[in-house]
Amino acid sequence: MLIFEHSRPGRRNYSQSPATAAEIRNIPQNLLRKTLPLLPEVSEMDAVRHYTRLSQLNFSIDTQFYPLGSCTMKYNPRVCNSLAMLPQFLARHPLASEDTGQGFLACMYELQEILKDVTGMAGVSLTPMAGAQGEFVGVAMIRAYHEARGDYARTEIIVPDAAHGTNPATAVMCGYKVVEIPTGKEGDVDMAALKAAVGPKTAGLMLTNPSTLGVFEKNIAEMSKIVHQAGGLLYYDGANLNAILGKVKPGDMGFDVIHINLHKTFSTPHGGGGPGSAPVGVAERLLPFMPVPVVAFEQGTYRWLTEKEIPQSIGRLSAHMGNAGVLLRAYIYIRLLGAEGMHRVAEFATLNANYLMVELSKAGFEIAYPTRRASHEFIVTLKDLKEKTGVTAMNVAKRLLDKGYHAPTTYFPMLVPECLLIEPAETESKQTLDAFVASMKEILAEAHAQPEMLKGAPHTTPVRKLDDVKAAREPDLTWKQSS
Amino acid sequence: MPFIPHTEEDISVMLASIGANTIEDLFDEIPPALKNGSLQVLPGLSEMEISRLMLERAETDGRYLNFIGAGAYEHHIPAAVWQITTRGEFYSSYTPYQAEASQGTLQLLYEYQTMMASLTGMDVSNASMYDGASALAEAALMAVRSHKSSRRILMPTTVHPIYRRVVRAIVKNQGIEVVEIPYCAECGHTLVESLAPYAGQDIAALVIPQPNFFGVLEPVDALTDWAHSNNALAIGVVNPMALALLTPPGEWGSTGADIAVGEGQPLGIPLSSGGPYFGFMACKQSLVRQIPGRIIGRTTDLDGKTGFVLTLQAREQHIRRSKATSNICTNQGLMVTAATIYMSLVGPEGLRRIAAQSHANTIALVEQMETLKGVKRIFSGPLFHEAAVTLPTPTDAVLQTLKNQGILAGLNLGEHYPELGNALLVCATETKIAADLEKYVEHLRQALA
């Protein structure tokens, strides 16, 4: 039932608005709204019950295991939320002067410094509001760098075929042509193809390492050399930073610019699809182009640096300073972990991934890159299973929902057929992983014994398989009073 | 070892299963020369220690009586909004790709789309953008995509100055030209006459703010009709709270604006130093396949039961890659959760009263301010809940003096519009009572004396 169907004309929630309706002065009749908007007319209890019930229809980390590759679904500590929601932090207006926000700015400055250290970069700007915006900023800085040198010939960005869809989409938003290069048998970028692709038109290369195939690009040092020698810059998509935290720094691998998904590695909540936050780190030569504002600490005082101090900046991406509350949560999480905790994040994420990979292999699942170590994630391919039983990766994913697990990432990366990209994250225990393997074993048996049952999965969720085709062909995007 | 549950026994059993001696062995594919374990990060804190540190920092920042608006507005937020929003099932859930496991978020977003479409008077709404400024930039890109021949956007200087910068930063690499249109110095809004130089030219869109950055209401009907008669789209950039009182973009002019965007923060989102907020975007049916971001649709399951899914995904980056309408994937889901609950709790009449009270408080404040010598409203145009006021002495010094009394007196407007001299932008929402207004005026009197 929709909230609108609970609505009754004239029902009001009296404690949540002024007792009397103030007189509208000064506004001409032609600018005034003639009818009230279609908002629900419900009691406070109606609304509380309705949205509490809706919440109960969701899977979440607080209720389920999410082996969701490339998404780093780790536990979101509750204290990060409660401290970021202290009344003083919530009430602070973004345009209030800096001296009214020294406590907040101290957290932001320290976060910048910590992220510089962790990534091995020379500068960090916290402003991008999501991974895709971080990518946009990164590529825009690459473009600004080339143009500042008077080099307008560089019109191409190289992207491996295994990359996230945001990489090519971002390159296009920055006015670049995308050159895709293939992946070799072992999951590394095809070096011959890279050599053939670089040249005077190369503005840069966008790379995730460990890659979306769950393996570390062993040739990264050579790749870096090839791209730099051609005059291009290296962009690091930080989606998989969790795998190497405290082990390798992207700056040491030769990357010139990086974005960090705080909602992955630094445990800020996914919130059902945002808000994210994606600070960017830059090497020395990109410092003049960083997006503003950036926090500085001078003579014992924190203050914002803006276009005045960074005149070549690529500019602003948001009305204020980005997703401040998300940045606070990440800062709190990092201070809880400390240096030792950060090392352990990568170690235990990697331990969990390799253990799960081996156990699933023993259970009869085919691993896409069996000769490689898993980073913090790995790929299972169900190509054979599909040929034998007709059961697809999607069927297995949906059946997992019945067993109380969120599905792994499916059909990504697109170059591995019938794939499940699995990332357990460090916060899951061995017992949870074992139980997951047991469920996967059951599903494998079901695939052979009852393939038709699997194809109809899920069976126990609040709704069964939904008709996507109908949704797209006859779009019903808003509720209408008559419907 | 915070948030890592492994016992020593677990670790040894797991390593044995893998066939590795130590955890470090699992990193043996990383070239040794690249390994670098040095971190300057301080040792970890316990929950008690970090709580103490953050409380101290929050107290350093203190609390002020706030009269700043300028795109971020202080409104009362019912307690239920964030208590429900931070339930783990909303807070820690993933983007709803697995529809069967995400019906709560998906249904809520469908309800949100319905509310926003109605509030803006448009046919459809997406499931949110990052913030108001970036939503305006995406609207400009959308207009250029659908217009096909023109890459030029007309942008009144009454649009939020930072929004204008954000639009430029986001669209400049795609060869899009943003032309600024001056405002009427007397009335404080855009005049149709100032668009005359562009009549008959190839223009993708005209941006129309309502209310504008000065708090003044624009002649939206005439501006929308001008855009349409020049084959340009009309993009409304609107305050959703104001729409409880004002004609929605879908009803502007003879056929309505084509795209409506804005900052969703007034709908239940705390000020919190600027974010996270959320942007909204709604449009006419004819533009639905050009809209960026997530859209939720209602459909049925195998048993014919109603359910909700992400739909029209053929526009998006994970399917279309380099041919997507935008690179956006994540939006501001949790903020939209709060806004949807907020709109349900206050309802249509409640939202109208909150908007009306904000309007009345601002007018009352300005009238009292105008009793002081040399203090005067700058513009004659009608206002919603914010006003530009001229001061007899430099703005910064006045702001400093009032701040020392615990009052944030407004925004120094001269920083963005030097031609206005000693100017202040003030806002008094429904959160202010008569005593607050008196306190403000009394301290302003002393500061100017």
Inter-chain CB proximity A54 and B329 less than 8 Å = no
Q: Is the Cβ of B111 closer than 8 Å to some Cβ of chain A?
A: yes
How far is A376 from chain B, CA to nearest CA, in Å? Answer: 10
- Binding-face residues of B in 366-425 toward A, CB within 8 A: 382-384, 399, 403, 408, 411
> What is this model's ipTM?
0.97
pLDDT of residue B90: 98
Q: Is residue B328 classed as helix, strand or coil in its secondary structure? A: coil
pLDDT of residue A250: 96
Of A103, A102, A72, give the one whose Cα is nearest residue A332.
Answer: A103
Inter-chain CB proximity B271 and A323 less than 8 Å = no
pLDDT of residue B325: 72
Regarding whether A448 and A364 lie in a shared domain, the answer is yes
- Do the domain assignments include residue B46? no
Where do we find the tokens 């509750």? Answer: A78
Regarding whether B284 and B176 lie in a shared domain, the answer is yes
Regarding whether B376 and B230 lie in a shared domain, the answer is no
How far is A154 from chain B, CA to nearest CA, in Å? Answer: 13
- Do the domain assignments include residue A184? yes
Q: Can you say whether the dihedral through the CA atoms of B191, B196, B200, B202 is positive or negative?
A: negative
How far is A189 from chain B, CA to nearest CA, in Å? Answer: 15
Whole-angstrom distance, CA of residue A39 vs CA of residue B247: 16
Q: Is the Cβ of B341 closer than 8 Å to some Cβ of chain A?
A: yes
Regarding whether B280 and B136 lie in a shared domain, the answer is yes
Q: Is the Cβ of A358 closer than 8 Å to some Cβ of chain B?
A: yes
Q: Which residue on chain A is closest to B6 by alpha carbon?
A: A429
How far is B256 from chain A, CA to nearest CA, in Å? Answer: 13
Please, which residues have CB within 8 angstroms of residue A150's CB and are 6 or more apart in sequence? none
Regarding whether A422 and A277 lie in a shared domain, the answer is no
How do residues A90-142 score in pLDDT, each as one tens digit? 999 999 999 999 999 999 999 999 999 999 999 999 999 999 999 999 999 99
Whole-angstrom distance, CA of residue A388 vs CA of residue B318: 29
Inter-chain CB proximity B166 and A317 less than 8 Å = yes
How do residues A182-239 score in pLDDT, each as one tens digit? 998 889 999 999 999 999 999 999 999 999 899 999 999 999 999 999 999 999 999 9
Q: Is residue B377 classed as helix, strand or coil in its secondary structure? A: strand
Q: Which residue on chain B is closest to A28 by alpha carbon?
A: B382
Residues of chain B positioned with their CB less than 8 A from the CB of A118: 39, 41
Interface test with A, best of B86, B114, B273 (most A CBs within 10 A): B273
Whole-angstrom distance, CA of residue A223 vs CA of residue A451: 45
Whole-angstrom distance, CA of residue A222 vs CA of residue A243: 21
Of B440, B378, B363, B361, give the one whose Cα is nearest residue B413.
Answer: B378
Regarding whether A254 and A138 lie in a shared domain, the answer is yes
Regarding whether B257 and B135 lie in a shared domain, the answer is yes
- Do the domain assignments include residue B369? yes
Query: Which of B302, B337, B351 has its CB closest to that of A39?
Result: B351
Give the domain CATH number at A378: 3.90.1150.10
Query: Which of B39, B175, B273 has its CB closest to that of A118?
Result: B39
Contact between B417 and B389 under an 8 Å Cβ cutoff? The reply is: no
Q: Is the Cβ of B144 closer than 8 Å to some Cβ of chain A?
A: no
Contact between A226 and A199 under an 8 Å Cβ cutoff? The reply is: no
- Do the domain assignments include residue A4? no
Regarding whether B292 and B179 lie in a shared domain, the answer is yes
Block means of pLDDT (10 residues each) for chain B, 449 residues, are 91 98 97 92 96 98 96 98 98 96 98 98 97 97 93 98 97 93 98 97 98 98 98 98 98 98 98 97 95 95 97 75 71 95 98 98 98 98 98 98 98 97 98 98 97
Distances from the Cα of A467 to the Cα of A349, B98, B296, B304, angstroms:
36, 13, 13, 9
* Cα atoms in the 13 Å half-sphere on the side-chain side of A312: 15
Interface test with B, best of A17, A292, A361 (most B CBs within 10 A): A17
Q: Where are the alpha helices (DSSP H) in B19-46?
A: none
Q: Is the Cβ of A423 closer than 8 Å to some Cβ of chain B?
A: no
Regarding whether A389 and A266 lie in a shared domain, the answer is no
Query: Which of A16, A130, A218 has its CB closest to that of B130?
Result: A130
Regarding whether B262 and B383 lie in a shared domain, the answer is no
Looking at A308, A336, A364, which one is the last position of a domain?
A336
Q: Is the Cβ of A199 closer than 8 Å to some Cβ of chain B?
A: no
Of A228, A312, A326, give the one whose Cα is nearest residue A277.
Answer: A326
Residues of chain A positioned with their CB less than 8 A from the CB of B160: 319
φ, ψ of residue B421 to 5 degrees: the values are 65, -135
Regarding whether A321 and A223 lie in a shared domain, the answer is yes
Regarding whether A360 and A258 lie in a shared domain, the answer is no
Regarding whether A416 and A451 lie in a shared domain, the answer is yes
A to B CB pairs, distance under 8 Å: 675
Regarding whether B377 and B255 lie in a shared domain, the answer is no
Give the domain CATH number at A311: 3.40.640.10
Query: Which of B13, B169, B408 has its CB closest to that of A96?
Result: B408
Regarding whether A320 and A375 lie in a shared domain, the answer is no
Regarding whether A383 and A299 lie in a shared domain, the answer is no
pLDDT of residue B353: 98
Q: Which residue on chain A is closest to B41 by alpha carbon?
A: A339
Number of domains in chain B: 2
Whole-angstrom distance, CA of residue B30 vs CA of residue A348: 16
Whole-angstrom distance, CA of residue B25 vs CA of residue B18: 10
How far is A261 from chain B, CA to nearest CA, in Å? Answer: 11
Looking at B276, B310, B340, which one is the last position of a domain?
B340
**DSSP bridge partners of A295:** A304
Regarding whether B352 and B297 lie in a shared domain, the answer is no
Compute the mean pLDDT over every residue in chain B, rounded to the nearest whole number.
96
Query: Which of B62, B275, B360 has its CB closest to that of A22?
Result: B360
- Do the domain assignments include residue B223? yes
Q: Which residue on chain A is closest to B319 by alpha carbon?
A: A165
- Do the domain assignments include residue A6? no
Inter-chain CB proximity A47 and B344 less than 8 Å = yes
Residues of chain B positioned with their CB less than 8 A from the CB of A178: 321-322
- Structural domain boundaries enclosing A223: 79-336
Contact between A126 and A322 under an 8 Å Cβ cutoff? The reply is: yes
Please, which residues have CB within 8 angstroms of residue B170's CB and are 6 or more apart in sequence? A136, A173, A317, B134, B137, B138, B140, B141
Inter-chain CB proximity B91 and A319 less than 8 Å = no
Contact between A420 and A376 under an 8 Å Cβ cutoff? The reply is: no
Block means of pLDDT (10 residues each) for chain A, 483 residues, are 97 94 92 96 98 98 96 96 98 97 98 97 97 94 97 97 89 94 92 97 96 92 97 95 95 96 96 95 98 97 97 96 97 96 96 98 97 96 97 98 97 93 97 98 98 97 96 95 69
Looking at A280, A314, A336, which one is the last position of a domain?
A336
Inter-chain CB proximity B30 and A358 less than 8 Å = no
- Do the domain assignments include residue B49? no
Query: Which of A20, A28, A130 has its CB closest to that of B382?
Result: A28
Whole-angstrom distance, CA of residue B171 vs CA of residue B133: 12
H-helix or E-strand spanning residue A419: strand A419-422
Interface test with B, best of A463, A468, A483 (most B CBs within 10 A): A463
Looking at B340, B370, B391, which one is the last position of a domain?
B340
pLDDT of residue B428: 98
pLDDT of residue B1: 56
Interface test with A, best of B30, B113, B245 (most A CBs within 10 A): B30
- Structural domain boundaries enclosing B110: 79-340
Query: Which of B54, B323, B346 has its CB closest to that of A13?
Result: B346
Longest pairwise C-alpha distance within chain A: 75
- Do the domain assignments include residue B57? no
> With a threshold of 0.95, does the pTM exceed it?
yes
Looking at A301, A317, A336, which one is the last position of a domain?
A336
Inter-chain CB proximity A466 and B99 less than 8 Å = yes
Residues of chain A positioned with their CB less than 8 A from the CB of B257: none
How far is B155 from chain A, CA to nearest CA, in Å? Answer: 16
Show the 3-state SS of B298-310: EEEECCCCEEEEE
* Strand ordering across the sheet containing B205-210: B124-125, B279-283, B259-263, B233-238, B205-210, B152-156, B177-181
Inter-chain CB proximity B41 and A336 less than 8 Å = no
> What is the pairing mode between strands A280-282 and A294-298?
unpaired
Regarding whether B281 and B218 lie in a shared domain, the answer is yes
Q: At A323, list the tokens.
A: 């997703």
Regarding whether B299 and B394 lie in a shared domain, the answer is no
Q: Which residue on chain B is closest to A244 by alpha carbon?
A: B27
Inter-chain CB proximity B125 and A478 less than 8 Å = yes
Looking at B289, B311, B340, which one is the last position of a domain?
B340
Regarding whether A313 and A205 lie in a shared domain, the answer is yes
Q: Is residue B283 classed as helix, strand or coil in its secondary structure? A: strand
Residues of chain A positioned with their CB less than 8 A from the CB of B63: 87-88, 91
Regarding whether B392 and B287 lie in a shared domain, the answer is no
Distances from the Cα of B246 to the Cα of A28, B217, B237, B239, angstroms:
10, 9, 13, 10
Number of domains in chain A: 2
Q: At B238, list the tokens.
A: 């609107």
- Do the domain assignments include residue B4? no
φ, ψ of residue A32 to 5 degrees: the values are -90, 145
Give the domain CATH number at B86: 3.40.640.10
Q: Which amino acid is at B122?
A: M
Regarding whether A323 and A355 lie in a shared domain, the answer is no
Give the domain CATH number at B430: 3.90.1150.10
Inter-chain CB proximity B337 and A272 less than 8 Å = yes
pLDDT of residue B319: 67
- Do the domain assignments include residue B439? yes
How far is B302 from chain A, CA to nearest CA, in Å? Answer: 6
Q: At B365, list the tokens.
A: 């404040």
Q: Which residue on chain B is closest to A250 by alpha carbon?
A: B34
Q: Is the Cβ of A482 closer than 8 Å to some Cβ of chain B?
A: no
Residues of chain B positioned with their CB less than 8 A from the CB of A340: 1, 43-44
Q: Which residue on chain B is closest to A343 by alpha carbon?
A: B37
- Do the domain assignments include residue B16? no
pLDDT of residue A445: 98
Regarding whether B375 and B302 lie in a shared domain, the answer is no
